[in-house]
Amino acid sequence: MKNMMKSVLVATAFMAMTLGATASAQDAKFAVVDVGAVFQQLPEREQISQSLQREFSDRIENMQQREQEIGQLQERIQRDEEIMSEDEYNQAMMDFQQRVQEAQQAGQQLNEEMRRRQGEERDRVLRRMQEVIADIAEEEGYDVVLEANGIAYARDGFDISSRVLDAMGND
């Protein structure tokens, strides 16, 4: 009898918690945001791209010049191979290989630094977007804001992406 009473009490408590959670969920106000689409439409994204291009333009030009010099050296070696002594040819090939290796290392370094800076700028924009989403949620009384790509379905009225985009454009 005691076990049966315990079971009934546990079941009653569980049902009360479930009903309470259901009532709270029914009263909750939801919204969705397509963060990727908002990010792609931001005018600031193009400005960031141009700024990064300017930031790295000298190094990019330097890499292009290196590649051109390497191409010219390769052409010279191929053109003059017949008239070069074996020592001259070996020295030219070592110089060529060294320049190629240095250019590859510099290129990898440049690519890594550009990716890092792009990531920093993307993260800065996404943090600001998160703040804007939180502000809109507070102002409009949303209890939960979900990423649109992470849900199977939401009616159009739940999508606040355009409001987020507008708010970010007005900052």
Total number of domains in the chain = 1
Residue indicated by tokens 């939401």: 154
What are 72-78's contacts with CB under 8 Å, separation 24+? 73/99
Domain of residue 156: give its range. 2-169
Cβ–Cβ contacts within 10 Å for residue 34, how many? Answer: 18
pTM for the structure as a whole: 0.68
Q: Residue 95 maps to which CATH number?
A: 3.30.910.20
What is the rounded CA–CA span in Å between residue 94 and residue 154? 63
In 9-147 the beta strands, taken as DSSP E runs, fall at: 30-33, 144-147
% of residues, the chain, pLDDT over 90: 63
The label of the residue with tokens 């990064």 reads: 52
- State residue 156's pLDDT score: 82
| pLDDT, tens only, 11-64 | 333 333 444 444 456 678 999 999 999 999 998 888 899 999 999 999 999 999
pLDDT score of 114: 95
Q: Evaluate if residue 97 carries a pLDDT over 90.
A: yes
Q: Going along 2-139, which residue ranges are E strands?
A: 30-33
The confidence score (pLDDT) of residue 2 equals 43
